[in-house]
Amino acid sequence: MPVTWIPGRGYFGNAYLVGSILIDAGVLPSAVEPYRNDIDMIVLTHCHFDHTAYTREIAHLCSAPVAIHPLDAPGLTQDGPSLSLHFGSRPPGTSPDRLLLDGDRIGPLTVFHTPGHTPGSICLYLEEERALVSGDTVFTDGGFGRYDFPGGDRAALTRSIGRLASLDVEGLYPGHGGPVYHGGRRHIEAALQLLRAGYG
């Protein structure tokens, strides 16, 4: 099952389509509109506004429920955890329809709770494709998410990326920047080494 990349614009995060599941909702609804009839679930990797800005509009467009980890659910309605004021806006103001926990399955995807960037950050692993949608936990080229925002935790992020480094990952699909389609695990291992060495 392929992963379709819907690039984010400016500071806003990427979205991805895996089967009938849209991952993240910071892209404009017009970018999602071509897929509207294919989407039956929206999964948010975390609550920051650059990944959730259009949750309400896209959910309405697709008639799709919204899922997020319970520790990040408050960020859908509260300014502080959403960081929405950094964008001169307010959070989407919607309640999740489903709360996701570590190990849950949603369609073909397995949920990995990966705190550190936010308390409720998650990554989604598509085992059959050896693909990881990593939100803002880990990026390509050894990058990793900021942990200096409210709820961030460097030690937790290091543990989370260490856990991801044990997965068989070819395709790495991050929340910002372009994905890589081969050798994704090396990018995760590079981020782990940098964190352990004290960078960031």
Q: Is the pTM of this model over 0.95?
A: yes
Please tell me the total count of domains within the chain: 1
Mean pLDDT over 122-145 rounds to: 97
Give the model confidence (pLDDT) of 28-79 as tens digits: 999 999 999 999 999 999 999 999 999 999 999 999 999 999 999 999 999 9
What is the mean predicted confidence (pLDDT) over 124-151? 96
Q: By C-alpha distance, which of 39, 104, 55, 46 is closest to 74?
A: 46
3-state SS, 45-108, equals CCCCHHHHCCHHHHHHHHCCCEEECCCCHHHHCCHHHHCHHHHCCCCCCCCCCEECCCCCEECC
| CA distances, 163 to each of 112, 137, 150, 158, 167 (Å) | 9, 11, 23, 9, 7
Neighbours of 135 (CB within 10 A): 30
Res 200: pLDDT: 72
Q: What is the mean pLDDT of residues 169-192?
A: 97
How does pLDDT run across 145-168, given as a tens digit for each residue? 999 999 999 999 999 999 999 999
Range of the domain at 38: 3-196
Least confident residue range of 13-22, 85-94, 108-117, 129-138: 85-94
The overall average pLDDT reported for the chain is 96
pLDDT level of residue 1 (50, 70, 90 thresholds): confident
In sequence order, the β-bridge partners of residue 21 are 18, 41
Report the CATH number that the domain containing residue 135 is assigned in CATH.
Answer: 3.60.15.10
**pLDDT > 90? residue 198:** no
